[in-house]
Every structure is written in structure tokens, then in C-alpha cells.
Amino acid sequence: MFVNPIRYLLERLRGFFGKSIQRQLAWSFSIASLATILGAGVLLLSVQRDFLYSQGTKNALDLAQTLSFSSVSWVLANDVVGLQEVLKGASNTTDIKFAVVLSPRGEVLASTKPEYIGRFFGDAVSQRLLGLSVEQQILLDEANLIDVAVPIKAGNFSIGWVRVELTRDKENQELRTIAAAGLGLALFLTLTISIIARALASRMTRGLSHLINVAIDAEHGRAFQREAIGRRDEIGTLARHLYQMLDAIEAEKKAKFESEARLRRLIQVAPIPMASVSKDGIIQEFNDSFTRVFGYLHDDIPTIEDWWRLAYPDEDYRRWVLKTWNAAVQRAVESGQNIEAYEYRVTCKNGDVRFMEIAGVVLGDDLLAIFIDVTERKQNEETLRRYKDHLEEEVQQRTTDLVLARNAAETANKAKSVFLANMSHELRTPLNAIMGFSNVMRRDSQLTEGQRQNLDIINRSGNHLLTLINDVLEMAKIEAGRVQLENVPFDLGGMIRDVTEMLGVRAAEKGLQLLVDQSSRFPRYINGDEAHMRQVLINLAGNAIKFTEQGGVTLRLGVRENNISHILIEVEDSGPGIAPENQQRIFEPFEQLGEQGENKGTGLGLTITRQFVQLMGGSISLKSALGQGSVFIVDLPLREAKETDIVMPQRLEHSEVVGLEPGQPDYRILIVEDQLENQLLLSKLMENVSLQYKIAENGQRGVELFRSWQPHLIWMDRRMPVMDGEDATRIIRKLPGGDAVKIVAVTASAFMEQRAELLECGMDDFVRKPYRFNEIYDCLSKQLGIRFIHEALAEPAEAHVILTAEMLSVLPDDLLSELKAALVSLENERIEAALQQVAAYDPTLQKTLIRLAENFDYPAILKALQPNQ
């Protein structure tokens, strides 16, 4: 095999030097210093040689030049004797080899060597000179001689050459002396540096050698000689640190040994089984718990193979155990974490099988396995699981039962809703007739006052009944979750004004004051459900008026700023108050407190109110004490709106319609209605304003009449025998002219959502029974553009009542006297007290008196009292 000799040499050198730092240091210093000194010496010698040689050349040229000048005349005169004289001086020059004067032909005219005189030179160097240009020439410049020639000139004429050859013996001798001295110096310096380097290296490595021995001894666990190194250099520092390090290792070893001993003791006494296994599968030891739990002795399981075989006798299971355990050990070794715990079934020596969670720790080459007995836990889990399964079955059963119950309840609820709807329809229809006709009758100017009062009673009772029905329905709707709140901008201020105006009348009738205390920050326009809010307000304020006999009701309107703004509506009355134990009850359905007398309601008002408030995201609370009145506080989240968002509802003219404006087409109105009463009521209303009408008793008849008569508008009842209103509408819409006719549903249905169904089947509008007359006329205006003549709104009757002495005659004398005295005294409380007593004799009289007193028209009352006194 071919071996590169250079590489081989380098390898040998590397091997030689690499063995010892001492060798490396000594030789590196020696070679480096020798190279430096020799380099410098050679450089200096070279410079000196160049200098001396150039000096020699200059000397030769100078000599030749001088001889040339001195020779001119002699050459011109061909005076060889004179020339010889001239050269004679030159022959003493140091190092001269020869000097000659040559004729242009090359003849030696004079020479320091007599044998040359009169002869010619035949060598190449000399021959070459004769052909050279006439200027100074260096013929030879060698290490041992310099040969130059300078022309002899007379004016411009070259008349010969002076040639001088000098040896460089003297310069060379000088250079040799310098070189020898330099070399000597170099050797001396290099030797000195080498000796110093060697001494230093030796000193340095002596310390290192000792440290190496120390390290080797320490490595083999031998006691080492702790040589006291008092050196202050790096070796000393290294030695000190090495000893410190060895001390630290020794201490650590000791600590580790102690720690291991502690650990071993700990393992031995640990209450859970533990076993230590070496890398080669030898079970080194296990603790007492191990023997106690598994029953194995060390002779039973000297290796881990024996353990596998005995603890997991089933071969398939043993394979799984081995695979799982080895994988866990592998992961632990790779990740440096503990061996994950897995659950294994271990067979004890006595044949019992125990569930063990086996985890472990890799400790260097050893492995410590830790066993946690989970047998009991497993048994408990099993029991628990059985219980759980049982429980699930039971829950399943109960759930099934509940589903059945729920379905039954839902069916019942649905039945209730259907019942309510039907009842509503069934109740409303006759109520429509009752209230409608009582109203019609009330407009008869020939009625006596007694009849009118009777009609009023009928009307009020009807209204009460309607309210009752509506409340029951509302409640049913809330319970069925069928209440849908609107969220549209509306004029809250306007609504409150309407309500207070309306209730103000009622309050005034009872001689109560209805005050509104509105904060300046209370908003005018908000987003919400106007109808329901109105109902809340009316319910609360209405109740307050209803249950307050004296004093008044204050409606306090404010705003509460929180995360989101709230509006606060407080309704405070000076009524009898509510005992704390009843304060929750009053919100329950059909709960009423004490004697309500005529004012007995449905018992649903507050329930509905609270439901609405809660639906609106608010809350209602009550502060009350017996005899101190009550405050209902409604707190609703505020969503303010802008005025521009409000669609102002057309204010309905509540004045009564008395006829048609002249100059309008003759409208034909068809009434499709199965019930006679309602036929009569609607026809009466049409008649009143002189509108043509025809009546159909069912949908089919209605379709026929539409074909034959082509009415402008059809009042369509919804439920009818033969053909109901919806079917009839669908048919009519398909007939010629069916798309132009206006069809308005008249229904007693309780549910607003049916409106959508009616509009969907082609109807234009919707009027609910029982209806107010104006609703019928407004609908006609809206659908056909019919213009009506309205009677001017009548002043309340009371306003026109003039107090007479006769009217006061029903009152006993002492009351009359008290009233007079009170009025004269101008004491408000006394006047009010007297007026309260009037109610017992004639409530209407009381109202009249209260109105006069409120207007401070005391003279009018006193005047009427006068004849009685």
C-alpha cells in the first residue's frame, strides 16, 4: 500500500510532539527563536552584502573614471610611459586585479600587469567591450570580482578605454566574519531560549505530571498524595481547584452513599411493595411489604424472568404485561421521566390474584418497581359500577314515566288552551251582543234616567266580564309561553299621559288625587312593548286607585343608572297597606286580600303584571306596611329610542259617528255572520250611517251574494256552519272582482296570532269581538275611505251638574252643618272629612262636591247649603 511519505513524516512528528507538553513547548520556542534569529541574520547579511558589493562596484567605476581622466593626454600623445605612470598609482589600490588602458582597437597601451602591455585580449568579455557603446560599462559583476570599463574621451572623440577589475575578496571576507558572528549569536540566543523554554516547560509539566498522577489515583479510587503546591501560577490554581473538586466528589460520594442507605432503609420499611432489578434482570432486593403481599421469597424469584413466569402464569396475559411494561420502561428511559403506572393482575404465591398498579423509577442501571395494591379499589369500583347501572336503569324508568306525564300534561295544557279559546269565543260572542245592544240602547234619547243607569250596570258588568275573560286568557297565554313581546320604539311619555289622564278621571271619581312626579331624566321615547307596559301601568295604578279610599296615588317616574340604565316606576298609594306576610301572596294567581266589595277583580292582575315585568327583563317589588300605604316599584331595563323612530299612531276619534259625509259613492256592505245577535248589531251599525248592506248566514251564502251583489266590503265572521269565513274568503278572492273587494274578519278568537292566518287566507283586516262601534267605523274609513260625520265630544255629565239645595237635601242636618263649618274654616282636611261622609248618602253628590271643592268653588257649595240651613 502506498504511504504518502510527507503524511507519514507529519504523523510521526505529531506523534513525537503530541506526547508531551514539555516537548511541544521546548521545541516550539527553540524552533521559533532559531527561525526568527536566522531570518533576521540572513536579511541583515543580504543587505550588508548588497551594500558592500555596490560599494565595490562604485569604487571600481570611480577608479576607472579617474584613470580615464588622467589618461586622456597620454593616450592622445600615445605616451605609454606616461600612461604607465598614471596606472602605477592605481596598482596600489586594494583588491585590484588589474587596470589597463586600451586603444579603440583593443591594444593594451598600459597595464598594471606588464605582461598585458602591447597585447590584445582575446576572451569574450574583452572582445564584447570593443563593440559596446561609448559609456561606462560593467563587464562582470560576480561574487568574487567586479570588472568595469570607462571610455577615454577627448571632447567627443573616444580614444580608448580604461578597464579596471577588482576582486571582492575583502568584502567577502567581511561578510564571512559578519555571518560567523551572527550565527554564533543566533546559536547562543537559540540555545539560551531553548534552555529557558525547556526549564519553564519542565517546571510547568512537573506540576502537571503530579496532577495527572493524582487524577489517575483518584480515578482508580486509590489514596493520592496531596502534594502541597504553593505555586501561584495557573498550575497552582489548577492543583487547588483539582483538590477542591476531588474533595467535592468525595463528599458527594459519601453523601450519595448515605442517601442510598437511607433510601434502602426507606424502601425496606415502605408499606407498599417495592423491588429493585438490575440491568441484567437480576432481582437485587425487595422489601418486606413485597413478601407480605405476594408471598414470594428471594429464592422463588431470583431473576425477573422468574417473576414474569410466576406472577403472570397465563401466557397471553404475560405477553401483554411484558409488552406494556417494556414500552413504559423505554418511554421512561427516553424521556427521563418515571415509568408510567399501569394496572396488572399479579398472581401471588398462594394463588390469589391481586390488582396492582405498577410504576417505577429508572435509577442509573437499576430499576425500582413500585406496586400499589388496588384490589380493594377495584372491588369498590365494581360495586359502584353495579350501583350506577342500577341507578341508570331507575333514571331511565323515571324518565320514561316523566315523559309520559309530560306528554299527558302537554295534552292537557293543549286541551286547556283549546278550551280557553273555545270558551273565549263562546263567551265573547254573547258578550258582544250584550254590550253592543246595551250601548245602542244607551244612545236612545227617550230612555229614562233609571233605564240608563240599568244599562250602565249591564255595560259595566259586561266590561268586568270581558276583563275577567281577557285576564284569564292572558294568564293562560303566559303559562303556555305564547306571549310575545314587541320591541319597537314608542312614546312612553305620551302613553303615561294617556294612562294618567284616563285614571285621573277614575281617581277624581273617588275623590282621590293622582299625582305624577316625573324626574327630568325620565326618557320620553323608548324601545319596548307599549301595550304590555300600558297594561302594567294601568294594573298598578288602577289597583292603587281601587284600594285607596282616602288621600291619593302618586306615580313616581325616574331613572336608575347602572351598567345599563333602568327606568323606575313607583306607584305609591295612601291605601290600607299590605301586611308583610301577604306581600308575596298578592302576586299569586287568584289570591285576593280582604273584602274587595264591588271592586272584586279576577285576582290575576298583579300576577299578570309581574309576569309581564319579568318578561320585559325587569322586576317588581313592594314596600308596604299596614295602615301606611303601599309602594309598588317596577324596575325595567331602559332602551332609549329617538323621536324620529316613533310612528305616531293615528289618534282615534272617540267622538261618536252620527252619519256619512255627503257626496260619497253608495257603498255596498255584506255581512256574513251566523249568529243572529251579531247580524243585528252590525246591521244596526250600518243602518245608523245609512250604508246599504245585506246579510249572509254562512260562508257559502256569502259567496253567492258576492257573485250577485258585488259588495265593496265584507264583514266576515270566522266560524260559521256550512262554510267558514276563511274558505269563503279564498273562494271570493278567486272570483271576478274578488281581488278588489275588501274583506274584514270579525272574530271572537282570543288569540292575536290568528290574525296572521286570517290575513294569509286573503283578508284585508281584522276586528275582534267584542268591538267598539268606532272600531267598525274606523275600519270602514281605513279600507274604503268612507268619511263620517262625528258628534262633538260631550262634556262629562258632572261638569254640567249645577249644585242645588234639593240635591243636598238627602244629607242629614248635622253633616250639612259640619260641611258648612268646614268650608268656612277653609281647613282642607276638615272639608275632605266632611265630603267623605257624603258618599254614604249619595256618591254622585259627593263627586260633585269634591269637584267643586277641588276647584275651590266653596261659594257655590255654601250657596246651595243656604236654603237647607
For another protein, the binding residues (CB under 8 A) are 20, 22-23, 26, 34, 38, 72-74, 76-79, 82, 97-98, 105-107, 115-116, 119-123, 125-127, 130, 140, 142-145, 147, 154-155, 157, 159, 165, 167, 169, 172, 175-176, 179-180, 183, 186-187, 191, 194, 198, 202
Q: How far is the CB of 179 from another protein (least distance, A)?
A: 5
Q: How far is the CB of 91 from another protein (least distance, A)?
A: 16
Q: How far apart are CA 284 and CA 277, in angstroms?
A: 6
Nearer of residues 192 and 614 to another protein, judged by Cβ: 192
- Identity of the residue numbered 428: R
Nearer of residues 69 and 355 to another protein, judged by Cβ: 69
Angle between helices 449-479 and 375-442 (to 10 degrees): 160
Coil vs helix vs strand at 91: coil
Q: How far apart are CA 503 and CA 533, in angstroms?
A: 15
Q: How far apart are CA 115 and CA 108, in angstroms?
A: 10
Measuring CA to CA, which residue among 316, 275, 315 is closest to residue 293?
275
What cell numbers appear for 716 in the block? 266576515
Contacts of 547 (CB under 8 A, 6+ apart): 573, 575, 576, 599
Q: How far apart are CA 742 and CA 709, in angstroms?
A: 14
Judge residue 87's burial from the number of C-beta atoms within 10 Å of its C-beta, 0-12 exposed, 13-18 middle, 19 or more buried: buried
Q: How far is the CB of 22 from another protein (least distance, A)?
A: 7
Q: How far is the CB of 257 from another protein (least distance, A)?
A: 39
* Alpha-carbon separation of residue 497 from 574, 629, 645 (angstroms): 21, 24, 19
Nearer of residues 194 and 303 to another protein, judged by Cβ: 194
Q: How far is the CB of 54 from another protein (least distance, A)?
A: 18
Q: Give yes or no for a contact between 701 and 728, defined as CB atoms under 8 angstroms apart.
A: no
Q: How far apart are CA 538 and CA 366, in angstroms?
A: 88
Nearer of residues 35 and 564 to another protein, judged by Cβ: 35
Nearer of residues 125 and 415 to another protein, judged by Cβ: 125
Nearer of residues 44 and 143 to another protein, judged by Cβ: 143
Q: How far apart are CA 599 and CA 846, in angstroms?
A: 19
Q: Which long-range contacts (CB under 8 A, 24 or more apart) does 192-196 make?
A: 193/29, 193/30, 193/33, 194/26, 194/29, 194/30, 194/33, 196/29
Nearer of residues 183 and 559 to another protein, judged by Cβ: 183
Nearer of residues 10 and 579 to another protein, judged by Cβ: 10
Nearer of residues 51 and 257 to another protein, judged by Cβ: 51
Q: How far is the CB of 87 from another protein (least distance, A)?
A: 15
Q: How far apart are CA 102 and CA 120, in angstroms?
A: 9
Q: How far is the CB of 159 from another protein (least distance, A)?
A: 7
* CA angle, residues 528, 531, 536, in degrees to nearest 5: 90
Q: Which long-range contacts (CB under 8 A, 24 or more apart) does 397-400 make?
A: none
Q: How far is the CB of 27 from another protein (least distance, A)?
A: 8
Q: How far is the CB of 6 from another protein (least distance, A)?
A: 20
Coil vs helix vs strand at 316: helix
What cell numbers appear for 811 in the block? 244629607
Compute φ and ψ for 584, nearest 5 degrees. -85, -35
Q: How far is the CB of 88 from another protein (least distance, A)?
A: 17
Q: How far apart are CA 748 and CA 771, in angstroms?
A: 9
Nearer of residues 120 and 858 to another protein, judged by Cβ: 120
Contacts of 868 (CB under 8 A, 6+ apart): 805, 808, 809, 813, 816
Compute φ and ψ for 823, nearest 5 degrees. -65, -40
Q: How far is the CB of 361 from another protein (least distance, A)?
A: 50
What cell numbers appear for 115 in the block? 605582461
Measuring CA to CA, which residue among 530, 544, 520 is closest to residue 498?
530
Contacts of 851 (CB under 8 A, 6+ apart): 508, 798
Q: How far is the CB of 298 from another protein (least distance, A)?
A: 54
Q: What is the DSSP letter of 438?
A: H
Nearer of residues 185 and 658 to another protein, judged by Cβ: 185
Q: How far is the CB of 97 from another protein (least distance, A)?
A: 8
Q: How far apart are CA 311 and CA 350, in angstroms?
A: 11
> How many CB atoms lie under 10 A from the CB of residue 609?
22
* Alpha-carbon separation of residue 160 from 61, 568, 796 (angstroms): 16, 143, 169
Q: How far is the CB of 214 from another protein (least distance, A)?
A: 19
Nearer of residues 137 and 607 to another protein, judged by Cβ: 137
Nearer of residues 3 and 124 to another protein, judged by Cβ: 124
* Alpha-carbon separation of residue 561 from 484, 557, 565, 567, 636 (angstroms): 27, 14, 5, 9, 11
Nearer of residues 105 and 654 to another protein, judged by Cβ: 105
Q: How far apart are CA 606 and CA 618, in angstroms?
A: 14
Nearer of residues 23 and 830 to another protein, judged by Cβ: 23
* Alpha-carbon separation of residue 372 from 314, 320, 321, 422, 549 (angstroms): 21, 19, 16, 73, 82
Q: How far is the CB of 108 from another protein (least distance, A)?
A: 9
- Residue 533: CA atoms inside 13 Å, Cβ hemisphere, count? 29
Q: How far is the CB of 187 from another protein (least distance, A)?
A: 5
Compute φ and ψ for 664, nearest 5 degrees. -120, 155
Nearer of residues 166 and 613 to another protein, judged by Cβ: 166
Nearer of residues 142 and 643 to another protein, judged by Cβ: 142
Nearer of residues 77 and 676 to another protein, judged by Cβ: 77
Q: How far is the CB of 38 from another protein (least distance, A)?
A: 8
What cell numbers appear for 354 in the block? 391481586
Q: How far is the CB of 215 from another protein (least distance, A)?
A: 19
Q: Is 281 left (phi over 0), alpha (psi -120 to 50) or beta?
A: left
